[in-house]
Amino acid sequence: MQPTGYSEQTLLRLYTRLHRRSPDQLNAINETDAEIIRLPGAIGSSTCLALTTDTVAEEIQLGLLRQPFTMGWFAVLAALSDLAAVGASPVGLLMSYQFPDQMSTNDIEQLVQGVEACAEAHRTYVLGGDTNQNEQLSVSATAMGTVQDGRFSRRAGCRNGDLLYITPDVGRGNLLAFLNRFNHPLAESFEAAFRPLAPFELGQWIAQCGSACLDTSDGLLAGLALLLTLNPEIGFRLKADSIPYTPVIQTISSQTNLLPSVFSLGQVGDYGLLFTAPSEQRPPDAVCIGEVTDSPGLWINNRLFDYENATQRLNQSRQPDQYLKALTTLSHLFEL
């Protein structure tokens, strides 16, 4: 989420105005999930550096994450999924920890173990970082990777007739947030099993064969909205029942009378990939949920869905009960 009173576009305009651009930077502003840099002085080399950084703080402060091990895993995953989204291979991580005085030594150790476990699962390393004390706990990860032959995925590039794909287990981030925030009996066990992996092999396939890609760090709806903003000449047509939700969502939906789409509209990430590819291509480990059309907008079950109004309403809902009410209302519109 953005700071209250500042839209993402407002902040991007501020950054663009105040920061200089490197002549070696290959991506445009907001064009990619990670920044792509031609290595200065590397004459004749086709290898580029991919860089990204992410912070886990609000999820901790709102109680959406509760177990220190998961906080560490989540922080690393958030950064590595950006590398996967551009088609990079990971090189290593720099970590920044802000620990409150009252945090126990055992909890700190569990958090750092989560960081190391996630790095090891992705066959990469923590290279160093920084540690400070603060009133609020936060964990930041800067991930570095390489891109070969200058081939990397951009968020822009969707073409009429392309198919729209997403990785499975949609909604698991929002489900974890829901279970923890509302003290559901399954919360502890679900969080203990929450160990997603960034899909690097798929990301590299997309860089070669796809047309546009981003990670689902803010959920499905936010990903669709951003792709539509950056590709204003096209639209998406999809069916609500084609979305591959993580299996336990059906159980929770039945228990709570919430529609499954509640967990695709929320803004807590799954850290999978949302992408488009030509219809003749067949990506591995992804599910087709729709197609690209020359009719702008988001079409759900052949009805136009006002995604701009939906994201605005969610951004204005600051309290958990208010946010869930907005999600519930929007989910009925989404699944019509």
Full DSSP string of 258-315: --TTHHHHSSS----EEEEE-TT---TT-EEEEEEESS-EEEETTEEE-HHHHHHHHH
For the cut 50, the answer to whether the pLDDT of residue 1 exceeds it is no
316: how many CB neighbours lie within 10 A of its CB? 11
C-alpha distance from residue 202 to each of 50, 101, 218, 285, 288 (Å): 17, 41, 19, 7, 14
Map out the domains of the chain with their CATH numbers. Answer: 8-147 (3.30.1330.10), 163-334 (3.90.650.10)
Q: Which residue has the tokens 């790095």?
A: 119
161: how many CB neighbours lie within 10 A of its CB? 14
pLDDT of 41: 64
Q: Which element (helix H / strand E) includes 13?
A: helix 8-18
25: how many CB neighbours lie within 10 A of its CB? 15
pLDDT of 11: 83
Please check whether residue 237 is in contact with residue 158, taking contact to mean a CB–CB distance below 8 angstroms.
no
Please check whether residue 240 is in contact with residue 334, taking contact to mean a CB–CB distance below 8 angstroms.
yes
Q: Which residue has the tokens 């950056």?
A: 230
Q: Which element (helix H / strand E) includes 69?
A: helix 68-86
pLDDT of 319: 83
pLDDT of 80: 98
Please check whether residue 308 is in contact with residue 232, taking contact to mean a CB–CB distance below 8 angstroms.
no
pLDDT of 8: 73
Q: Which element (helix H / strand E) includes 80?
A: helix 68-86
Q: Which element (helix H / strand E) includes 207?
A: helix 200-209
pLDDT of 16: 86
pLDDT of 6: 67
Please check whether residue 234 is in contact with residue 216, taking contact to mean a CB–CB distance below 8 angstroms.
no
* DSSP code, position 64: S
Question: How do 212-215 and 35-38 pair as beta strands?
Answer: unpaired
pLDDT tens track for 125-153: 999 999 999 999 999 999 999 998 889 99
pLDDT tens track for 210-256: 999 999 999 999 999 999 999 999 999 999 999 999 999 999 999 99
For the cut 60, the answer to whether the pLDDT of residue 3 exceeds it is no
- Whole-angstrom Cα distance, residue 124 to residue 93? 8
The three-state (H, E, C) secondary structure of 305-322, written as one string? ECHHHHHHHHHHCCCHHH
Hey, CA dihedral for 220, 10, 138, 324, is it positive or negative? negative
- Whole-angstrom Cα distance, residue 205 to residue 107? 38
pLDDT of 315: 86
Please check whether residue 196 is in contact with residue 121, taking contact to mean a CB–CB distance below 8 angstroms.
no
pLDDT tens track for 157-177: 999 999 999 999 999 999 999
pLDDT tens track for 11-35: 888 888 899 999 889 999 889 999 9
Binned at pLDDT 50, 70 and 90, residue 45 comes out as: low
Tokens read off for 160: 């009429």
Phi, psi of 288 (to 5 degrees): -75, 125
Binned at pLDDT 50, 70 and 90, residue 2 comes out as: very low
CA angle 96, 97, 100 (to 5 degrees): 155
Please check whether residue 214 is in contact with residue 155, taking contact to mean a CB–CB distance below 8 angstroms.
yes
